[in-house]
Amino acid sequence: MTNSTKEKLKDLLVQESANLSLIQQRLKVFNIFDVLGVGHRELQHSNFIGWLLDPNGNHGFGDYFLLEFLNQLSDVPDELLIDCHLGNLYSTRVKRESENNIDIFIINNELSFCIAIENKVLAGESAHQLAKYKKHVLENHDDLNHQLFVFLTPNGILPKAEDMQESYETLSYFDLVLMLKGGLNSFGENVEPDIEYAIKQYIANVNRNIIGMDDAVKTAQKIYQEHRQAIDFIYRNRPDCTSLMDEAIKYVHDHPKLLLQVPDDKRFVRFMPNHEGFNSLFRYPAARSWGEGCDYIFMFELHFSKQAVLLKLCFGAIYIADIEQRQDVQEAKDKLFTEMKKEPLLKPYLSKARSSSKYPGIAWLNIMSIEDFHKDDSEDMVEVFGRRFGSVVSDLILPFADGFASRLSDKVAKK
């Protein structure tokens, strides 16, 4: 690190301490969409928007949002808009991805109109997607007087294809937020508290995660503009669990009660306990589950992502050309899989995998995450990993291997 970079980091901490604390506080404010991890997910946004636009939805706004939506579309003919304000919008049906996978499809046969809405949150527009939807609507709903097409995006961008720019009207999430705020203001105390809270949570989520209008976002953008070099340096050197793989290989290799397997694999760290009774249950070299030179049809695997290190208890595939021999090994795999499901130590971590799958993970558990590292007093990620993985080895892996081998050897002896 150069002296210049050190000075810039110091300036960042000194000058922006209060603002960084403010951002931290605002990010801790509860939002159900963040908790569920769906703040950016297109499917959940389409579900929520479709619910609001449905006059028969249980939100208590009736046809208000659908009328407001129509009011924002310049392509809606005046005669249709009048009919919608005076006619029966409660005969409207709102479909979610059931009409040729169109995100939101609104149809009212009585007033003779339909609206196809393509919603894009983060994903880009797929080739010919809009043209495909338009073709479907025109071919299957040509009996309606009005077919309308809307391209809803965070910033109201135009479709890529010029001919679709003429067919699709664009709306932004900013327009959507204004519509929702207008509804809350218009209905006031007549809105059910739970519904009001849900809509306000949704507005806050859109402002922060979609259109960047949240105060915390604005403050963050300002800090970044003024301290770009220091922040980029911090970002490049942020903690990352994938960096632990080499250390994990060394840890397993040096551990007296573990046996490193497939050491050249660049994706996972695979190992077995140093327990002949346990290992002999899974020794089927002909299966070649993890390539040549690996004897077992079961392994412990460490999986590394940027955010976490996970342990997978995994059965392997069976690559045997001879059908009878392959069936024999599959039978053994099925039996071992079934017995392992009964192990009390694994019960909290069991998955819904099936032994007929190629690489079924019978159980998964978290070794450590970035959050675990941040909560730990140690500043050394390797130390945190070693401590947490060591506990899993001593408290779960070794007792499980010993108990499983003992139980199955007792079964064999009784037979």
pLDDT digits (tens, 9 = 90+) for 162-186: 889 989 999 999 899 999 999 999 9
Pair of tokens at residue 217: 């976002």
Pair of tokens at residue 316: 């392997």
Distance CA 205, CA 38 (A): 10
- What integer pLDDT is reported at residue 403 of this predicted model? 94
- What integer pLDDT is reported at residue 39 of this predicted model? 74
Query: Which amino acid appears at position 164 of this protein?
Result: M
Nearest to 346 by CA among 328, 363, 324, 368: 363
Residue 78 has pLDDT above 60, yes or no: yes
Give the confidence band of 394 by pLDDT, cuts at 50, 70, 90: very high
Question: What rounded mean pLDDT belongs to the chain?
Answer: 87
Q: Which residues contact 282 (CB under 8 A, 6 or more apart)?
A: 272, 296, 297, 298, 336
Residue 11 has pLDDT above 80, yes or no: no
Q: Which residue has the higher pLDDT, 36 or 215?
A: 36
Nearest to 287 by CA among 250, 247, 333, 347: 333
The rounded percent of the chain whose pLDDT value lies above 90 is 57
Q: How far is CA 26 from the centre of its chain?
A: 23
- What integer pLDDT is reported at residue 243 of this predicted model? 84
- What integer pLDDT is reported at residue 264 of this predicted model? 74
pLDDT digits (tens, 9 = 90+) for 295-313: 999 999 999 988 889 999 9
Residue 204 has pLDDT above 80, yes or no: yes
Mean predicted confidence (pLDDT) in 118-127? 82
CA terminus-to-terminus distance, the chain: 68
Which range has the worst mean pLDDT, 202-216, 275-289, 290-304, 350-364? 202-216
Distance CA 317, CA 289 (A): 5
**Cα dihedral 235, 241, 242, 246 sign:** positive
397-402: long-range contacts, CB 8 A cutoff, minimum separation 24:
397/258, 397/273, 397/300, 398/257, 398/273, 398/275, 399/345, 400/343, 400/345, 400/346, 401/273, 401/275, 401/278, 402/275, 402/277, 402/278
- What integer pLDDT is reported at residue 305 of this predicted model? 87
Residue 126 has pLDDT above 90, yes or no: no
Give the single-character DSSP code of 27: H
- What integer pLDDT is reported at residue 69 of this predicted model? 95
- What integer pLDDT is reported at residue 414 of this predicted model? 47
Element (H, E) at 20: helix 17-27
Q: What's the length of the chain?
A: 415
Domain ranges of the chain: 32-217, 241-414
Residue 197 CB coordination number (10 Å): 12
Distance CA 318, CA 327 (A): 9
Give strand ranges (E) for 57-120.
93-95, 104-108, 113-119
Q: Do residues 290 and 299 touch, judged by C-beta distance below 8 A?
A: yes
- What integer pLDDT is reported at residue 415 of this predicted model? 44
Q: Which residue has the higher pLDDT, 375 or 295?
A: 295
Interstrand relation of 113-119 and 146-153 (parallel, antiparallel or unpaired): parallel
Q: What angle do CA 313, 317, 323 make, to 5 degrees?
A: 145
Which range has the worst mean pLDDT, 13-17, 246-250, 404-408? 13-17
The rounded percent of the chain whose pLDDT value lies above 70 is 86
Residue 38 has pLDDT above 90, yes or no: no
